[in-house]
Amino acid sequence: MSRFHYGHIVYGGPWVFAFLGMIQPAFAGTIVTLPRVDISTTQAEGAQDQPSLADAPLSASSPDQASQRMSRLSSPDAASLLANLPGVSSYGGGRLANLPVLNGMADDRVATVVDGVRIAPACPNHMNPALSYIDPDSVQTATATAGLTPVSNGGDSLGGTINVERADPRFARHGKILVTGRARGTYRSNGGAYSAAGSLTVANDILSLRYNASYDESGDYDAGGGLGRVLSTEYLRYTHDVTLGIHKRNHLFVLTFSQQDAPREGFPNQFMDMTNNRSTAVNGKYVGTFNWGTLEARGYWRRVTHAMNMLPDKTGDMPMNDDSRTAGYALKATLPLGLAHTLRLGSSFDHEGLNDWWPPVPGSIMMGPDTFHTINHGHRDRLGHFAEWEAHWTERLSTLLGLRNDLVMMDTGNVAPYSSMAGMMGMPNLDLNAANAFNARNHGRTDVNFDVTAMARYRALDSLDIEAGYARKSRAPNLYERYAWGMGSMATTMIGWFGDGNGYVGNLDLKSEVGHTASMTFRWHDPSAENRWELKIQPYYTYAHNYINVQVQRSLSNSSNKLNGSVLQFVNHDAQMYGINSSGHYTVWNTPAYGKGELTGTLSWVRGQDMVSHSGLYQQMPLHGTLALNETIGPWTGRVELELVKSKTTVDQIRLEPRTPGYALLNLSGSYTWRMMTLSAGIDNIFNQRYYTPLGGILVETEKSTGQHIGVPGMGRSFNVSLAASF
C-alpha cells in the first residue's frame, strides 16, 4: 500500500525524543506528529521497502549525529556540517562563508537550497553564500547529492544539490499548550571565538510560534605549526528569525521572517573584507495531502544590502556596495499513477535583481571623482518546469526519468567608470574604454536550457544495491561572469570569488554550460535490520561543453604592487571531471556493558582538466578522507576523528594555483547529557599540525606587499567547549 504523507515533517527531531525520555511526566502528551494519510493501494507488493529514487538516491548523503555534533562544536559555519560527506569539500577565506564543492564543481555549479530557496550570492567576491544565512543549530536536515541529481531537485547547476532545512514547527495535542525551547553557548580557544544560540516555541494544536536567535564572534585565528596569526580572519554575526506554523488536519502552512546582520568578516584570500551584510527575508511554505496526491508550494522574498572595504589588517580604502532583491516561487505536485508509478510535476520562478556600485573616495585620483557602476540594476530571472516519472517495476528494480526546462533571462543597464577623463600621464583609461565598448552593445541575453536525468536502481542481492544513470545538466552564466566589464587592474581584482589573487573580466558572449554525467553507485550493506555495516562506492565521469573557465589578458604586476597574477577573462572551454567517492561504517561492538562503537570513513578523489588549455581545473580537492570511531554508552557520546589529505600537485597553472603538502589532523570530541543539560568538549588539530588548505587560495595581502605566493594556512589547535540546555 502506498502512503503519501509528510515524509520529513517530524516535529522536534531526535534530540527532542531523547529530551522527552527524561521529562516524560511533564510533556510527553503534548508533542504531535502529523498523521499518515492512506490515499492509494496502487504500489506493487514489496515496493514500499524501496526508498524513492528522487528523494533518496544512493548518491545522496547526510552527516551522522556524531559528525554533526562535532561540526557545531568546531565551527559556526553551516557548510561545516557537510565536511565529512563523500564527494564534498569547501573553499573560502571567510570563516562564516565557505562555498561547497561537489565532485570538483563549486559555487554556482552547485544548487545550494536553504529552506527550499536557491539563494544567489549578492557580492562580486561571493562573501554571502546561501549557507551563511542559517546557523548550524537551526539546521534539522542537511543532504548533499553529488553527481546524478533528479530534475525535481533543481536545475541551473552541474555538480549536484545541497539541501538544508530548518526544523518544521511543533504543535501540541488538542487542548494542550506546548512551551519548549533550547539554548547553547560555545567557546573556541583559537581566535577567542564565542557563539550563542537559542530557540523558544509556544504552540497549541493549530498554531505554533517559534523564535530563533544566534550570535557568533571571533578574532583572527592562529595557524598550525607555529606559523602565527592569520590576519583578516575575524567575524561577527547576528541572526534572528520568527516562524509561524498553522496545522489543520493534513495541511501545514509555515511562514518565516528572518533578519541577519554581519557587521564584519575578514577574507585573507581576497583584496577586500566584508564590512556589513544585512539580509531581511520572508519565506512561506505550504504542504498538503489530498486524495489525488501531495502538493508543496513555496514563496520567498529577500533583500540584501552588502558593503565591502578593508578591515584594519589590510591597507587602503575602497568602499563597494551591493543591493540585491530576490523573489520567487516553487510548486511541486506528487501524483500516484497506476501500478507502482509516481509522477511529479513542478514549476518555479526565481528573480535576482542586483545593483553594484563603488562610491568615490574623497581625494583619490584613481577612485574618483564619480561613482563606479559595476552592475547597474541588473537582473537574472529563471523560469523552470519539470516532469519526473518514477516506477517500481518489481521488488528489486526501480527507474526514474525526468525532463526539465529552464529559461534564464538576463539584462543590465549602462555602466560608468570612476572618471570620464581619457587618461593621465600618457596612460589610457582602460575602464573608460571598456565602459564605452560595453554600453555600445545590447546587454539582454536569454538562455534556453534543458536537463535530463535517467536512473535505475537494482537490488542484485539482499546485501547489494546498484544504482546507475545518466544526467544532462545545464547552467547559465551568473551576472558577474557575463556583465563584469572593468579592464583596469584595480577594477578587475575586485571581481572574483576564487581567492587566487587574479583579476577577472566578464564576457557578454558566454554560453550556458552543459554537463554530461555518467555514474554508478554500489552499496553493500548488512541485509538484516540491524544495519551493522555498509560500504558505498561511486565512480563518475562528467564531460562539460562550454565550461566557463578563463584565458589570460595581461599581467597584473605593476609599480604599485608585487602581484604575480593576471587579468583573466571568462571564456567557454570544454572540460572533463572524473573520480570516485566511497563511504562506509562498521559496528565494532554493541553490548549493554560497553555501549555501541562504530567505525565510519570516507574517501574521495577527483581529477579535472580543461580540454583546451590542458591545465588542471581550479579547486580540485586532492585525494582525501576521514576515519572516525564513534562511541555511545548511556548519556555519553564520543568521537575520535582522523582527517587525511594527500599533497595537491595537480593545479590550475593559468591561475597560479599553489601546490600544498599533504597532512593529517587528529580531532577529539565528546558530550555528556544529564537531564536537560548537555556538556560537549573537543580538541581540533590536537598536535597543532602545520598545513595549508588545498582549496583556500593565497594570502592576497602578503603577495601584494612582498610578492610571496603563499597559500592560506589552516587553523591550529583549538580547545572547544559547549553547554546546551533544553526544556
Full DSSP string of 662-700 = -EEEEEEEEEEEETTEEEEEEEESTT----B-TTS-B-H
Is residue 720 a contact partner of residue 707, using CB atoms and an 8 Å limit?
Answer: no
Is 328 in contact with 351 (CB distance < 8 Å)?
Answer: yes
CA angle 270, 276, 278 (to 5 degrees): 125
Q: What is the mean pLDDT of the chain?
A: 90
pLDDT tens-digit readout, 461-517? 999 999 999 999 999 999 999 999 999 999 999 999 999 999 999 999 999 999 999
Out of 33-47, 239-253, 484-498, pick the least confident: 33-47
Q: Residue 583 has which C-alpha cell?
A: 563511504
H or E stretch at 550:
strand 533-555
> Residues with Cβ < 8 Å from 624, sequence gap 6 or more?
89, 603, 604, 605, 643, 644, 645, 646, 694
How far is Cα 200 from Cα 402, in angstroms, rounded to an integer? 41
DSSP three-state, residue 229: strand
DSSP H helices, 307-425, are: none
At position 577, the amino acid (one-letter code) is M
pLDDT class for 262, splitting at 50, 70, 90? very high
Spatial distance between the Cα atoms of 16 and 3, rounded to a whole number of angstroms: 25
Supply the pLDDT for residue 3.
Answer: 34
Report yes or no: 499 and 269 within 8 Å, Cβ to Cβ.
yes
Sign of the torsion angle spanned by Cα atoms 21, 24, 27, 31: positive
Q: Which residue in the block uniquely carries the three cell numbers 543532504?
A: 143
Using CA atoms of 550, 554, 556, 559 in order, give the dihedral in degrees to the nearest 10: 180
**CA gap 244, 241 in Å, rounded:** 10
Q: Is residue 428 very low, low, confident or very high in pLDDT (cuts 50, 70, 90)? A: confident
User: What pLDDT sits at residue 147?
Assistant: 81
For 460, residues 6+ apart whose C-beta sits below 8 A from its C-beta are 396, 466
β partners of residue 504: 568
**Closest Cα partner for 214 from 195, 186, 188?**
195
This prediction's pTM = 0.90
The whole-number average pLDDT for the span 200-227 is 96
Instruction: Band the pLDDT of 24: cuts 50, 70, 90.
Output: very low
Position 28 scores a pLDDT of: 34
pLDDT tens for 657-678 read 999 999 999 999 999 999 999 9
123-148, pLDDT tens digit by residue? 999 999 999 999 999 999 999 998 88
pLDDT higher than threshold 80 for residue 29: no
Q: In the predicted model, is pLDDT for residue 38 greater than 80?
A: no
Which is higher by pLDDT, 40 or 296? 296
Helices of type H across 165-310:
none
Closest by Cα among 282, 291, 362 to 115? 282
Q: For position 418, what pLDDT does the model report?
A: 95
Whether the per-residue pLDDT at 19 is higher than 50: the answer is no
CA 680 – CA 629 distance, rounded (Å): 17
Q: Residues near 56 by Cβ (< 8 Å), separated by ≥ 6?
A: none
Q: Does residue 643 sit in helix, strand or coil?
A: strand
Read off the pLDDT band of 423 (50, 70, 90).
low
> Is 622:606 a contact under the CB 8 Å cutoff?
no
DSSP tag of 98: P
Can you tell me the distance from the alpha carbon of 685 to that of 74, in angstroms, rounded to the nearest whole number? 11
Distance set, CA 88 to CA 62, 83, 85, 252, 657 (Å): 11, 7, 6, 33, 20
397 and 456 Cβ atoms separated by less than 8 Å: yes
Q: Report the side by side order of strands in the sheet with 60-61.
A: 60-61, 139-146, 160-166, 110-114, 117-118
pLDDT(2) > 70: no
> What confidence score (pLDDT) does residue 559 get?
58
3-class SS of residue 536: strand
DSSP string over 585-601? EEEEEEETTTEEEEEEE
User: How far apart are alpha carbons 375 and 354 in whole angstroms?
Assistant: 7
Identify which has the larger pLDDT, 351 or 560: 351
Q: How far is CA 431 from the centre of its chain?
A: 34
pLDDT band at 37 (very low <50, low <70, confident <90, very high): very low
Question: Residue 138: CB partners within 8 Å, gap ≥ 6?
Answer: 166, 167, 197, 199, 212, 214, 241
Between 79-88, 384-393, 415-424, the lowest mean confidence (pLDDT) is in 415-424
Q: In the predicted model, what is the mean pLDDT of residues 533-555? A: 96
Structural domains in the chain, sorted by start: 2-726 (2.40.170.20)
The answer to whether the beta carbons of residues 234 and 240 sit under 8 Å apart is no
Cell of 603: 574517501
Instruction: Check whether the bond before 369 is cis (ω within 30° of 0).
Output: yes
C-alpha pair distances (Å), 222 with each of 80, 190, 274, 338, 356: 19, 6, 20, 61, 34
Mention every residue, 6+ apart, whose C-beta is less than 8 A from residue 622.
605, 645, 646, 647, 648, 649, 650, 660, 662, 694
